[in-house]
Structure 1
Amino acid sequence: MLRACAAGLLRAGRHREERPGRQQGQTGLPIALEAIRRLDALFEIERAVNGRSADERRAVRQKKSKPLFDDMKAWLLSEREAPRAPSRS
């Protein structure tokens, strides 16, 4: 499921409108790549807890994954609110 989300981020990043301050022709791809980097960190935690008991997995997720999710949510919201250049027709 998360891999499908990552693929969607890449597609969306390629077609995202340019923002003020970006170099000509630069797309939202760096944003998508940053999102994938953050998701990969979460996958790394999941790989580390694979095979552990449910209680152990929950404890590790609360300690390590939750801060990453919270940070990612704040980052995504800030990216969504960032000003965009007017669309070109």
Structure 2
Amino acid sequence: MRVGVDRDRCCGAGNCVVTAPEVFDQDDEDGLVLLRRAEPPADTVDRVRLAVELCPAGAISVAPAGAGALLDGRVPAAGDPATP
């Protein structure tokens, strides 16, 4: 699994940090999401998927391991015209 975050969409709710602190953190200055591990360990996959569901801003995305990521850290969805 590859994780991406979109800080422009993040509202700083912190659900991701509470759900998977090994993968997500919050910036001390603005409270927005920080991605600690783009390719999280297998034992965190279920919690990362839950963090995606719990994110009120839709700022977290996931793709299969090895997938490319956009420059801002977002993982492009299948069929996304921005996919490199």
Confirm or deny a common fold (TM above 0.5): no
Structure with the higher fraction of residues in strand conformation = 2
**Higher helix fraction: Structure 1 or Structure 2?**
1
Bigger radius of gyration, 1 or 2? 1
Give me the TM-score of the superposition, normalised by structure 2.
Answer: 0.28
Higher relative contact order (CA 8 A, sep 6+): 2
TM-score normalized by the length of structure 1: 0.27
